[in-house]
Structure 1
Amino acid sequence: MYTQKSFVLKPADADKKWYLIDAQDKVVGRLATEIANVLRGKNSPKYTPHTDSGDFVVVINADKVKFTGAKWDDKVYYWHTNHIGGLKSRTAKEQLERKPEQILMNAVKGMLPKNSLGRKQLTKLKVFAGETHSHEAQQPVALEIK
């Protein structure tokens, strides 16, 4: 009787690539979905859910992303300072002025697994507000997202 074994990618065998994504005029949610798939490795035929088989992603122009509808005024980001009464909030427009990288980081973080593997995969995402980035030495390949 012939039985075929399932393919399981070992973390040491995963060859990590570097991708460069330009976020200018891209919708945040749709862009975050594509980034999360690359970080998890779902764009590869060797995808294994329980290993970190994804690639590195460098995102530039994070300060030029778009939201659909009235989310610039309606969407609110919350965090807590761990002090009593320390619940803070910002609208998406205020967040864009102060920390534009956090808009994309929070969107991608919500699309990754909520465990130690997801936290490890999130460290492979590098987001920059402007045109320049500090990962030229890795020679990232441009990845076009519609």
Structure 2
Amino acid sequence: MKTFYLRKEDVKRDWYIIDAKGKNLGRLASLIANVLRGKHKPYFQPDVDCGDYVIVLNADKFTVTGKKLTDKEYKFHTNTPGGLKVRSLQWMIENRPTRALELAVERMLPKNKLQKRYMKRLKLYTGEEHNHTAQNPKSLEELAKLWKVF
């Protein structure tokens, strides 16, 4: 019996849409990361980019539990001496609304050459409108119910 190996010509990419309003940040990011990788497909292979596109509406209206708004910190360095910057989740939501969800998804993806390709297929919008109606996106809520995410 021959081993099936997926080629990029065989990959069929779908478009999914989800509304982030009222959804938990971690659970939402986990669901999005799995769809971007293609783990919901029966022919998933970890070394082949077989994921789908994901459109997120209201990307700044997710929820978090506990005191994460003030206690969760995002650290980055400017590569100058004493250049460590620390920002809270509340600051990120106020000043860069979609960046918190983008970082959550990016950090749930594997750290390899495919990570940039996955992130290019993530489309984040702060409002209810998007410009991808021509792609006829499906609702991601069905997969979320199957995986019991929300």
Cα distance in 1, alignment partners of residues 100 and 5 from structure 2: 34
The one-letter amino acid of 1:18's match is W
5+ residue gaps, structure 2, are 145-149
1:115 aligns with 2:112: yes
Question: In structure 2, which of residues 87, 90, 96 is the aligned counterpart of residue 90 of structure 1?
Answer: 87
Write the letter of the residue equivalent to 1:6: T
Alignment partner, residue 32 of structure 1 = 29
1:85 to partner: Cα distance: 2.4
2:34 counterpart letter in structure 1: N
Task: From 10, 15, 19, give the equivalent of 2:12.
Answer: 15
Q: Distance in 1 between matches of 2:53 and 2:79?
A: 32
Q: CA RMSD in A?
A: 1.2
Aligned partner letter, 1:109: E
* Match of residue 131 from structure 1: 128
Partners of 2:81 and 2:8 in 1: how far apart?
Answer: 42
TM norm structure 2: 0.90
1:97-118 per-residue CA deviation (whole Å, 9 max, x = no partner) reads 1112111111111111101112
Q: How does 1:51-62 map to 2 (within 5 A)?
A: 51-62=48-59
- 1:136 deviates by 2.2
Give the CA deviation at 1:68: 1.3
Alignment match of 1:100 (pick from 87, 97, 111): 97
> What one-letter code is carried by the residue in structure 2 that aligns with 1:85?
G
Count of aligned pairs: 143
State the SS of the aligned residue for 2:98.
Answer: helix
Offset of residue 143 of structure 1: 1.2
**Aligned partners of 1:110 and 1:41: how far apart in 2?**
16
Amino acid at match of 2:23: K
Structure 1 vs Structure 2: percent identity of aligned residues? 48
Q: Distance in 2 between matches of 1:83 and 1:129?
A: 33
Structure 1's unaligned 5+ residue stretches are none
TM-score by length of 1: 0.92
